[in-house]
Structure 1
Amino acid sequence: MKETMSGLDIKTCIDELKTDILDSWVGKIYGINESFLIKLNTSNKNIQGLIVEPGRRIHLTFMDHPTPKQPPAYAMFLRKYLSNSKLVEINQPDLERVVEIKFEKENEYFLISELFGKGNLILCDEQREIIHPYESKVWKDREIKPGQVYSLPPKKGKNIAEISERELKELIIDAPDLVRGLARNLSIGGQIAEEICARAGLNKKTEPQKMTRKDYKRLFSTIESFLNKENSPQIIYENDTPIDVLPFSFETMRNKEAQRFKTFNRALDNYFQKVSEKEVKNVKEEKTEKKLKEFKSRLERQEKNIQKLKEKARKTKQKADLISKSHEKIDKILDKLNKIRKTEGWEKIRDELGKSKPSRENWAKLIKKIQPNQGKVELILQDFPVELDIRISSFKNASKYYEKNKQFKSKLEGAKEAKKKTKDQIQEIKEKGVKISTPRTPKKKRKKKWFERYRWFYSSQGLLVIAGRDAKTNQEIVEKHMEPNDIYFHADLEGAPHLIVKSEGERISEKTEEEAAIFAAIHSKGWRKGLGNLDVYSVKPNQVSKEAPAGEYLPKGGYIIKGEKNYQTVPLEAAVGLIEIEGNKIPMCGPPSAVQAHSKNIIKLKPGSTKKSNLASEIKSSLDKDFEGEINIDELMQILPPGPGMISS
C-alpha cells in the first residue's frame, strides 16, 4: 500500500493547485491528527481546504473534516502569520519531494512542506529565514531551526526532467541493473523506474553496460513521453483494498482494478481517506482479535472451573449421603475411637490399623487412616473415602458436607453467570469490535521547548509570556528575549521575576496584559505569603535600564525603571491544564482565563497550606485522566507557583 507521494505525484498535484488555489485567501488553520488543514476561500465552493501532512502528502480536500475545538500550538502559530493572507505562489523545487507555498500579508511568507522521510513544515520570511519549524532538526549538511536560512536537502540524483540522452547513459552506466540505475540516480523511486522500463520494453534486470544505443534512445524517448503524459487520475485496488494512487495509467498496474477521477487532487483526497480508514480498521481488527483471544482464554478457564465445582459439589453430596445412610455404624466407630483415645491413646488405635483389614476388630475395619493432630479419621464407605471429624457426631459431620455442597452449588451458579457474561461479551466483540481512538504516532520522550527554561504560559490571545526563575534567567529575559514591541511586567515586591509578553508582531490585548500581571503576581513572594491581591506594574522595554544612578550598584539581574509605571491590582489565582504544543500535551500553569482557553479541563489553585509536592501529586492524579500516559510530576513542580497552595473550586 502506497504511504507517501512520489516526486511525480507532487508535480501533478502542484500543476492542478496552480489553477485551483492561486490568489485564494487563507482562513483558519487546524491541526487534525498528524495533518494540518489550511482553510481557503476560493471560487470553488467544493474545496474545503489544503491538507498538508509532513512526510506524507499535500493535496486539496473536498471533504468536511471534523476539527478540534482547540487547535494545537503550531496550527495557532501558523494562524498568526498566515490567516487573512493571500496564497500567491506554489512550487516544487527541482522535482524534489518539497513544496513551497508563498503567502502575502503585510509581509511575504513561505510555508515549506517536506514530504520525504519523517517530514517537516517550516514557516520562513521573505528572505527564506526560518521563523519557526514544526520540528527543529540538525544534520551534518543543514539545520532546520529558527534564524537559519532554509536550504533544500542535498540532491541524491539528477532531475529526470532536465537530463539529456547522453547524461542519462552516464548516470546509469555503472549501475548493477537498469531499474536500480534509474531509481537511484534519477531519484524517482522503484515504482516509476519499473514503469519506465515496462513502457520502454526493456527488462528491468538488464545491465546498463550491455544496452545498445538503440536501447538508450528508446529509454530516453519513453522518459520524455512519460513526463508529458496526459493525466488520468486513478486509485488502484487489489482485493477491494486501495494499494496505490496514480496520475495516469501505469503498465505495471494494467491488470488491477482502477477507480478514475476528474482531478489528481480528488484522487489523492479519496485515496488517503481510504488509507486512513483502512489503518483504523486494521488497528481495530488487531485489537478486536487480541481482545477476543483474552476473552476466549477467560472462557476456557471459567469452563474448567465450572467442571471442578460440579465435581466438588457431587463429591460433597455423595459423602453427606453416605454418612447419613451409615450413621449408626459411624457413630459406633467414632464412640470407640474416642474411648480408646482417652484411655489407651492413639498408639493403640495405630496398632489396630496396622493389622490387615480381615484381622482388625469390627470398629477398625472401615478405617483407612487417622490424623491425630487434626482430630480426623478417614473411612471407606461403599468403596468411597470419607473424612470425618471424630469430635462430633455423624449427623453433624453429614451436615458439614451438606453445607459444603450448598457452598459449591452457590459458587457454581456464580461461575455459570460469569461464563454467560463472558460469552455475551465475546458475541458483542464479534458483532461490534472494540472501541478505539484514532491511532497516533507513538510518543517519544519529548524535547523541551526553549521557553520551558523559564516560567511561561500562553495567554488566551495565544501570545507567549515568559518570566525568570532566578537572577541569571531574569537577566536573560530582559537582555536576550525582550524586543521593542514586547511589554515588561514586574510585581511590586522585592525579588519578583522579570516578565515579558512576546508580541510577535501583534497588538497585545488588555486581556493578555491582565493575565501577564496575574502571572507576575503568582510567581512572586506574594503567593508564599498568602496574599489575596497584589500590585503589578508594566512598562515599555525602552524604560528598562541597566544604568544605575551615580553612586549606586545594581545586583546581577537588577534594573532601573525610567518614566511612568502602569499599575494594576490583580488577584493571586492560578490554574493548571494540558496545552497541546506540536502534538505533545504539556502541563501549563497560569491565570485561569489563559489556561481555560487552551485546555479542556483545568484545576484552579490559590495560596494555601498544602505542601507544593503534595499539591503536585493531587493535580497529577486529576490530569492523568485526560492524558494518554503519565504526567511527569517534576514538570508540575517546575511550573507551579512558589510555596504551598490549595485547589479551589
Structure 2
Amino acid sequence: MAFDGIVTRAVVHELQSLQRARITKIYQPTEYELLLHLRTQGENKRLLLSAHPAYPRVHFSQNPMAQPKVPPMFCMLLRKYCEGGFIENISQVGLERIIHINIRARNELGDEGYRRIIIELMGRHSNIILVDPESGKILDGIQHVTPSISQYRQVLPGAIYLPPPEQKKENPLLLDQPSFLKRLDFNSGRMDQQLVMQFSGLGPMIAKEIIFRAGLGRPTELWDAFNQVFSDVRAHRYTPNVTTNEKGKQVFSALQLMHQSQQRRTAYDSISTCLEAYYYGKAERDRTRQQSLDLIRKLKNERDKNEKKIRKLQREVQAAAEAGQFRMHGELITAYMHDIKRGDSSYSAINFYDETTPTVTIALDPELSPAENAQRYFKKYNKAKAVRKWNEEQIDKAIADNHYLETVLVQLENASITDIDEIREELHESGFLKTQKKSKKKQVKPEPLTFYSKDGTLILVGKNNKQNDRLTHQIAAATDTWLHTKDIPGSHVVIRTQAVSEDALYTAAMLAAYYSKARNSSQVPVDYTLIKHVRKPSGARPGYVTYEEQKTLYVTPSEETIYQWLKDAHQKKV
C-alpha cells in the first residue's frame, strides 16, 4: 500500500512528541535515507526519513542500520546546519504527503537561525530537502532535480524552493456533504477511482474501504461512509495494522480495513511500529539484491553449465561401461593366439567368459600380428577405463561445485551489503571469480549474526561460508550445540551453552531453517549435534563439514518472528 496522506497525518500526529527535541546526531545510512538521533523528555529516539523510490516513509525506528565510515555530502551539510539544534514544530501540508520539520539551531558564529527539512513522500519522486525558511532558498536535497528532469521546479543548492505541483484536489477534512457530492459523477466511472482523483490524501485502499462501508446504497450513504472515515482521521483515531490479503500480499493502514480479512490482521499500538514492521528489511533487501545481481547471474550460469557437463559426462561413462569387452577380446586373442595369423581380419573364438554367448567374433587388424592385436585391445580397454575414471571424478567435482554454488545462492538471498563483500572475496579465493587486486584495507574478521532465546541463551548464525567457518571452527566450543538443515543448503547455527533449553533449541532450529534454502517451506528438518562431532574434511571448501551423532527436529520458519528476534537482539546489544 502507498504511504498516503492519512498515514502521513498519523505519523505527523505521533511526531508531535518531538517538539523541543534536540538533534544529537545525524546519519545517512544509505543513498536515500537519513537517521536523526534525538533527545527528548529524558529519552533517546531515532527518526528515520526515507526518500527511497519504492519505500518512502517517515517513522520512529529501532532497527539496526549500518552507518558509513565516511558520511555523504548531504549528511555533512545537515550536520553543519541542524546538528545540536532543536525541533520547533513538525507539520503536514494539508493532507498531502509532505512533512515540514522546523529546526532552531546556531551557526558557526553562534547566531541563532532556523532551518526546515522538507520530506516529500512522492514515490519515485520522493525527496528530502533542506531549506532556509527566511529566504526560501534550497541549501541542498538528498536528490537533485535538474532542468532536464523538471522544467517546473529544480531541487539544487541556491534555487528557490517550490512545492510539488498542485493537483487541484479538495481537502477531505474541510468538506461538507454538498461539497462532497458536487465533486462526484454517479453516472460515470468507478467511484473508488473518482474518490482518489477528487480528494487529497486518499489512496486506492482507503477509497475501496469507503465504497465497501457505503455498500450499494444512495449517494448520502457514500457520504456517510466517507464522513465516518474522515471523522476518525480528523480526531486522530487511528488503528495501525498490517493485513495479509487473499493473494498473500501485505498491506498497511492507519485505519481499520473492514474490506480486508480480519483473520490475517496484526494490530500495532503506534503508526511507527506498524510501519517498521511492514518495511523492515525491504529497502535493505532491495539494495543488496541490486548489489548481488551480477553474482547471482554468474553463479546460476556456472550451475547450469555444470548440470550440462554432468549430463554429458554421464553419457560418456555409460558408453565407457562397454570397455570390459575390449579386455575380453584381448584376453581371447591371447588365449587363441596359436590359431590366429597375421593377415586375418577377424576370428571366431569360443567365449568362456559368457555362457549365454558361446562364440564371439573379434575384429582384427590384418596388418598387425596376433600379439599386436591383443595389445591394441588392451590399450583401448585401459584408455576407456581411464576416461571413465576421469569422467566420474569430474562428475563428482561438478556435483560438489553445484552444491557449493547452491549454498552461496541461498546466502545471497539473506545477505547484507557487508555479507556480499565477504561472499565476493570468498568466490575469488575459490576460483569462481577472476582474481582481483588485494585491497589495502585491513581485513575485518567475519562476524556472525547474534540472537538470544527467551531464556537469554546466546545463539550465533553464520550468513556466509566465511562466517560459517569462523563460527564453527574458531568461535564455538566443543560442547556447544551445532545446527544445520538436513541435506539442504543453509547457515551454520551455534547455541553457545552446554545446557541447552527446549526454547533455545527451538529458536536455533527456527534460525537454521529460515537462513536456508527452505526458508519458505514448512516442517523443515534441522539436524543438531555437538560441535565436537562436526569435522571439516581436508581441502574442503569454506562452509563444508561432515557431522555425526545428530538428532533431527522439524520447524516452520516465520519471517515476522525472525525480524522481531533481530530487533530484540539489536536492542540488547545497544
Same fold (TM > 0.5): yes
Is residue 157 of structure 2 the alignment partner of residue 149 of structure 1?
no
Deviations 1:463-504 (A, max 9, x none): xxxxxxxxxxxxxxxxxxxxxxxxxxxxxxxxxxxxxxxxxx
Q: Which amino acid aligns with 1:50?
A: L
Aligned mates of 2:156, 2:292 — CA distance in 1: 40
> By how many angstroms is 1:149 displaced?
1.6
In the TM superposition, residue 257 of structure 1 has moved relative to its aligned partner by 2.1
Within the candidate set 170, 191, 211, 1:158 is matched to 170
- Structure 1 residues 91 and 240: alpha-carbon distance in aligned structure 2, compared to 1, 3 A threshold: same
| Contact kept? 1:242, 1:274, Cα under 8 Å | no
Q: Is the contact between residue 285 and residue 433 of structure 1 (CA under 8 Å) also seen in structure 2? A: no
TM-aligned CA deviation for residue 44 of structure 1? 5.5
Q: 1:247 to 1:44 in 2, by over 3 A?
A: farther
Q: How far is 1:109 from its partner?
A: 1.0
The answer to whether the aligner puts 1:53 opposite 2:43 as a matched pair is no
Q: CA deviation at 1:58?
A: 0.6
Asked whether the equivalents of residues 39 and 50 of structure 1 are also in contact (C-alpha less than 8 Å), the reply is: no
Partner SS, residue 105 of structure 1: strand
User: Which among 100, 114, 119 is matched to residue 113 of structure 1?
Assistant: 119
Instruction: Give, in angstroms, the shift of residue 433 of structure 1.
Output: 4.5
CA contact (8 A) 1:91 1:101 kept: yes
Q: Which amino acid in structure 2 is aligned with residue 115 of structure 1?
A: L
Q: CA deviation at 1:292?
A: 7.3
2:140 is the alignment partner of 1:132 = yes
Match of 1:222 in 2: 228
1:388 and 1:179 map into 2 onto residues whose CA distance is: 92
Q: For 2:277 and 2:377, locate their aligned partners in 1 and report how far apart those are by CA, in whole Å.
A: 75
Q: Distance in 2 between matches of 1:72 and 1:91?
A: 27
Separation in 2 of the partners of 1:196 and 1:300?
56
Structure 1's unaligned 5+ residue stretches are: 204-210, 337-362, 368-380, 441-595, 602-649
Tell me the residue number matched to 1:88.
88
Counterparts of 1:32 and 1:322 in 2: how far apart (Å)? 74
The equivalent of 1:35 in structure 2 is: 33
Counterpart-to-counterpart distance in 2, 1:331 and 1:88: 112
Paired amino acid for 2:314: I
Contact 2:288 2:416 in 1 (8 A): no
CA distance in structure 1 between the aligned counterparts of 2:260 and 2:384, rounded to whole angstroms? 71
Change (3 A) 1:243 1:302: same
Aligned twin of 2:191: 178
| Residue 323 of structure 1 pairs with residue 334 of structure 2 | no
Contact 2:141 2:156 in 1 (8 A): yes
Q: Distance in 1 between matches of 2:367 and 2:13?
A: 94
Give the secondary structure class of the aligned counterpart of 1:255. coil
Aligned residues: CA RMSD: 4.0
Look up the SS of the partner of 1:94 in the other structure: coil
- Report the TM-score when normalising by structure 2: 0.59
More moved, 130-139 vs 326-335 = 326-335
Contact kept? 1:310, 1:412, Cα under 8 Å: no
Which residue does the alignment assign to 2:519? none
- Tell me the distance in 2 between the aligned counterparts of 1:132 and 1:423: 49
Judging changes above 3 Å, is the alpha-carbon distance between structure 1 residues 280 and 114 closer, same or farther for their aligned structure 2 residues? closer
1:262 equivalent in alignment to 2:269: yes
Residue 189 of structure 1, CA deviation: 2.1
Secondary structure of the 2:205 match is: helix
- Which residue of 1 is the match for residue 4 of structure 2? 6
Separation in structure 2 between the aligned mates of residue 68 and residue 282 of structure 1, nearest angstrom: 19
- Structure 1, residues 294-324: CA drift from partner, whole Å, max 9, x if none? 6477346415413412422x33442233133
C-alpha displacement of 1:8: 0.4
Aligned to 1:236: 243
Q: Is the 8 A contact 1:317 1:401 kept in 2?
A: no
Equivalent residue, structure 2, for 1:306: 314
Determine helix, strand or coil for the equivalent of 1:265. helix
1:167 aligned to 2:179? yes
8 A Cα contact 2:47 2:58, kept in partner: no
* 1:223-372 mapped onto 2 (5 Å cutoff): 223-228=229-234, 230-238=237-245, 243-273=250-280, 275-276=282-283, 295=303, 298-299=306-307, 301-312=309-320, 314-327=321-334, 335-336=342-343, 363-364=344-345
Instruction: Find the residue that maps to 1:253 and give its secondary structure.
Output: coil
Counterpart AA for 1:186: F
Contact 2:116 2:132 in 1 (8 A): yes
- Kept in 2, the 8 Å contact 1:306–1:416? The answer is yes
Instruction: State the alpha-carbon separation in 1 of the partners of residues 83 and 14 from structure 2.
Output: 23
> Could you say if the C-alpha distance between residues 61 and 84 of structure 1 is closer, same or farther in structure 2, counting changes exceeding 3 Å?
same
What's 1:24 paired with?
Answer: 21
Match of 1:382 in 2: 360
> What does residue 213 of structure 2 align with?
199
The separation in 2 between residues aligned to 1:389 and 1:96, in whole angstroms, is 96
CA distance in 2, matches of 1:284, 1:243: 25
Q: Deviations over 1:383-432 (max 9, x none)?
A: 465678748823432342243134224314413431551464377469x5
Contact 1:99 1:113 in 2 (8 A): yes
- Opposite residue 404 of structure 1, the aligned amino acid is K
Amino acid corresponding to residue 382 of structure 1 in structure 2: V
Mapped partners of 2:291, 2:367: distance in 1:
58
- Residue-pair matches, total: 393
| Contact in 1 for aligned 2:313/2:395 (Cα 8 Å) | no
Output the amino acid matched with 1:266. Answer: T
Instruction: State how far apart, in whole Å, the 1-side matches of 2:131 and 2:20 are.
Output: 19
Q: Matched residues in 2 for 1:101 and 1:295: separation? A: 51
The normalised TM-score by structure 1 is: 0.53
Q: Deviations over 1:604-639 (max 9, x none)?
A: xxxxxxxxxxxxxxxxxxxxxxxxxxxxxxxxxxxx
| SS of equivalent residue, structure 1 residue 90 | strand
- Which residue identity lines up with residue 122 of structure 2 in the other structure? F
Between the aligned partners of 1:282 and 1:252, the Cα distance in structure 2 is: 34
Q: Which string of whole-angstrom CA distances, capped at 9 and with x for unpartnered residues, describes residues 169-217 of structure 1?
A: 22222752321211111131211111122233346xxxxxxx55x3465
Q: Is contact 1:52–1:59 with CA below 8 Å preserved after alignment?
A: no
Distance 1:90 1:238 in 2: 33
Q: What 5-or-longer segments of structure 2 have no aligned partner?
A: 107-112, 349-358, 419-438, 443-574
Give the C-alpha shift of residue 220 in structure 1: 5.4
In the aligned structure 2, how far is the partner of 1:250 from the partner of 1:318? 76
When residues 224 and 241 of structure 1 are mapped into structure 2, their CA distance, relative to the original with a 3 A threshold, is closer
